[in-house]
Chain A
Amino acid sequence: MTVSTSTPTRASRAPAAGGRARALSEVPLPPPAWSRVTRKVFGHRGLAIGLVCVGLAVLIALFAPLLAPHDPYFQDISNRMVPPVWHDKGSWEHVLGTDKLGRDYLSRLIYGTRISLVIGLVAALISGVIGTTLGVLAGYFGGRVDAFISYIITTRLAMPVVLVALALASLTGGSLTTVIVLLGLLLWDRFAVVSRSVTQQLRDAEYVYAARTLGCSLPYILLREVLPNIAGALIVVITLEMAHAILLEATLSFLGMGVQPPLPSWGLMVAEGKAYMFFQPWVIAIPGVALFVLVLAINLLGDGLRDLNAPGGRN
């Protein structure tokens, strides 16, 4: 379907004449822009699936109070570990059952969407600002600036992220905010690598040269000439880093150093269900599948966007 996520520079490739691009140029009268976009989107199955799933997740997160059948924090000790509805002892009262404190699992799952999405979005934004700033400066100036920033990137890459995040989350007493900030401060490396290599290609572009000759200020050139032209590559990185941040938050929370109870983080739900997984495997299966589907959808969306950006890079 797409190229490897481990080679982010590939996203920066100039669009070559791929099969789809050629097919489009043969259309005699170009259809209106929006329908062209929708055709492109739905012609690409992975992108369409990703878009629909992520859209659904966003809607679920936005309308969680309307969708959740119960209060996600309400404990009903007499109704603990009720199995899901497809189970013999399940009931429609608790569609996905209840946890060890008798809290409705479906409601917790629905509210958990909010946590994952907020963490993914905000952490990706923070790391995006840090990484893009570093990458654009390194790519635009080159020379010593580049050497210095590349050194920072190399150092960051050599730091064991999971370990450092665990230690810092434990020290700062993990909460939703600290986890978001921590992940934002740790996950900027891919933004920096991609924006650096794309900016290097743009540095000598004619319009950038023109802006320089006209005496435009440096911030103007970087923000108005360079940034819009690397945005396409950055959007792909944003999706990948969102997925990365969501997985890391779940991992931290699973290990007890991330989001703290009683918040319904999916990683925390797996941790709380761990003791019961031998006889009631659904307690870890349900939040795990939710996590998997969300991350998969975001990755599909990112891969699809990369293909739209650079159809030549499909190999």
Chain B
Amino acid sequence: MGTFIVRRLLVALGVALTISVVSFMLLHLSGDLATSIAGPEATAEQVAQIRTEYGLDRPIVSQYLDWLGGALQFDFGRSYYYQSTVVELIVERMPITLTLGGLALGLAVCISIPLGVVAALKRDSWVDRLALLFAVVGQAMPSFWFGLTLIVVFAVTLKWLPAAGSGGLEHFILPAIALGYYATPAMMRLTRTGMLEVLESDYIRTARAKGLSTTAVIFKHALRNAIIPVVALAAVELGFMLGGSVVIESVFSLGGLGQLAWDAISRNDYPVVQAVVLIIALFYIVLTLLADIANAALDPRIRTR
């Protein structure tokens, strides 16, 4: 187990470093940053001035090393647009995105696991069909459009919930539904598949044969085993949702990390963009690492792979 964790940690570190290199290079090489920052009306002198002012005229490798050195000490430089450092901006916005992600994941878990279990128990019944329809619809629904539809129905027509902003918890309900539905189909299907496989296994037959009640068989024996991969998937989905929050936060003007990133992208505020990309990637890396370790702890066969 020890070597497994060390090996995974090393891979995670490497991946984080690679992503920092790749995102830095992509942003610096896919266009001329100085021209983008200066805007379409800038003169050649202004562009040249910005190039030297922001240090964009230096070799890209030394620019990267400087940035990485800062990033390792939680210093991502200053925003080009706001009068504050990138870290201040991120610390200020992070709670909103984490709340949104946590609520969305909670919602997705509360819907997908019971639905998946019932669908597996009542295989090919109308519940099963309804659950599959729910999943198929969720996979095809553009999340930004689903968010707008929620606003039109629940905020404008029914006036139950606010349409935008980030005051109290009520502001998070619609965005969490929009984001959570996105993660539900995969988790529901995995729960269902897992339950179907487990229910056909020998130890469940034994548990039933020795006269355990159906509830005990389902909850104590079947679900506990079927849920292991779902827990791992939930961690991965949370990582995806933090990345996908850029869409939902702009739809609901939620003012978290995602909206910060979108605003930064439209304002050519690249220090912020770089930092947010790296931080969201780090979240994903840590979450998958934890999921891997949890999986390996629960299922020793994984460790030897």
Checking A4, A164, A251, A257 against B190 with a beta-carbon cut-off of 8 angstroms, the contacting residue is A4
Could you tell me which residues of chain A, from 141 to 177, have a CB within 8 Å of some CB in chain B? Answer: 151, 154-155, 157-164, 166-168, 170-173
Contact A158 B281 (CB under 8 A): yes
User: A247: nearest residue on chain B (CB-CB)?
Assistant: B142
Contact A255 B141 (CB under 8 A): no
Checking B11, B156, B193 against A151 with a beta-carbon cut-off of 8 angstroms, the contacting residue is B11
Among B48-56, B73-81, B209-217, B241-249, the stretch in contact with A: B241-249
Give per-residue flags for A245-282: 1 if the beta carbon is below 8 A from chain B beta carbons, else 0. Answer: 00100110011110000000001001000100110010
Contact A292 B18 (CB under 8 A): no
Q: How many residues of A contact B (CB 8 A)?
A: 50
Contact B136 A292 (CB under 8 A): no
Task: Answer yes or no: B277 CB below 8 A from chain A CBs.
Answer: yes
Among B25-33, B59-67, B171-179, B296-304, the stretch in contact with A: B25-33
Cα A230 to Cα B16 in complex, Å, equals: 32
Cα A295 to Cα B145 in complex, Å, equals: 13
Once A and B bind, how many residue pairs between them come within 8 Å at the CB atom? 154
Q: How far is the CB of B236 from chain A (nearest CB, A)?
A: 9
Cα A295 to Cα B142 in complex, Å, equals: 9
Residues of B near A312 (CB, < 8 A) are none
Could you tell me which residues of chain A, from 280 to 294, have a CB within 8 Å of some CB in chain B? Answer: 281, 284-285, 288, 291-293
Give per-residue flags for B15-37: 1 if the beta carbon is below 8 A from chain A beta carbons, else 0. Answer: 11011001100110011010010
Residues of A near B261 (CB, < 8 A) are 163, 166
Checking B145, B244, B246, B268 against A291 with a beta-carbon cut-off of 8 angstroms, the contacting residue is B145
User: B240: nearest residue on chain A (CB-CB)?
Assistant: A160
Contact A164 B26 (CB under 8 A): yes
Cα A303 to Cα B11 in complex, Å, equals: 33
Residues of A near B19 (CB, < 8 A) are 155, 158-159
Contact A173 B31 (CB under 8 A): yes
Cα A315 to Cα B194 in complex, Å, equals: 9
Checking B23, B140, B244 against A164 with a beta-carbon cut-off of 8 angstroms, the contacting residue is B23
Checking A158, A167, A293, A303 against B265 with a beta-carbon cut-off of 8 angstroms, the contacting residue is A167
User: A161: nearest residue on chain B (CB-CB)?
Assistant: B243
Residues of A near B166 (CB, < 8 A) are none
Most buried by A among B143, B145, B246, B266: B145
Contact A167 B15 (CB under 8 A): no
User: B237: nearest residue on chain A (CB-CB)?
Assistant: A6
Could you tell me which residues of chain B, from 251 to 305, have a CB within 8 Å of some CB in chain A? Answer: 261-262, 265-266, 268, 273, 276-277, 280-281, 284-285, 288
Cα A292 to Cα B31 in complex, Å, equals: 33
Q: How far is the CB of A315 from chain B (nearest CB, A)?
A: 5
Residues of A near B268 (CB, < 8 A) are 170
Could you tell me which residues of chain A, from 1 to 29, have a CB within 8 Å of some CB in chain B? Answer: 1, 3-7
With contact pairs A167-B265, A168-B30, A171-B36 given, residues A270 and B284 touching in the complex (Cβ less than 8 Å): no
User: A4: nearest residue on chain B (CB-CB)?
Assistant: B189
Residues of A near B185 (CB, < 8 A) are 4-5
Task: Answer yes or no: A197 CB below 8 A from chain B CBs.
Answer: no
Residues of A near B139 (CB, < 8 A) are 5, 243, 295-296, 299
With contact pairs A292-B140, A295-B142, A300-B136 given, residues A158 and B247 touching in the complex (Cβ less than 8 Å): no
Task: Answer yes or no: B92 CB below 8 A from chain A CBs.
Answer: no
User: B31: nearest residue on chain A (CB-CB)?
Assistant: A171
User: B143: nearest residue on chain A (CB-CB)?
Assistant: A251
Contact B145 A288 (CB under 8 A): yes
A-B contact pairs, 29 of them (CB 8 A): A3-B189, A4-B193, A5-B185, A6-B233, A7-B190, A151-B14, A155-B18, A158-B239, A158-B284, A158-B285, A159-B19, A159-B23, A161-B243, A163-B276, A164-B23, A167-B265, A167-B273, A167-B277, A173-B31, A251-B143, A254-B145, A255-B246, A255-B250, A270-B144, A270-B145, A288-B149, A295-B142, A296-B139, A315-B196
A-B pairs, top 8 by smallest CB distance, nearest first, are: A160-B243, A4-B189, A296-B140, A171-B31, A6-B186, A288-B145, A295-B140, A160-B280
Which A residues are within 8 Å of any B CB, using their own CB?
1, 3-7, 151, 154-155, 157-164, 166-168, 170-173, 243, 247, 250-251, 254-257, 267, 270, 274, 277-278, 281, 284-285, 288, 291-293, 295-296, 299-300, 303, 315
Which B residues are within 8 Å of any A CB, using their own CB?
11, 14-16, 18-19, 22-23, 26-27, 30-31, 33, 36, 132, 136-137, 139-145, 148-149, 151-152, 156, 185-186, 189-190, 193, 196-197, 233, 239, 242-244, 246-247, 250, 261-262, 265-266, 268, 273, 276-277, 280-281, 284-285, 288
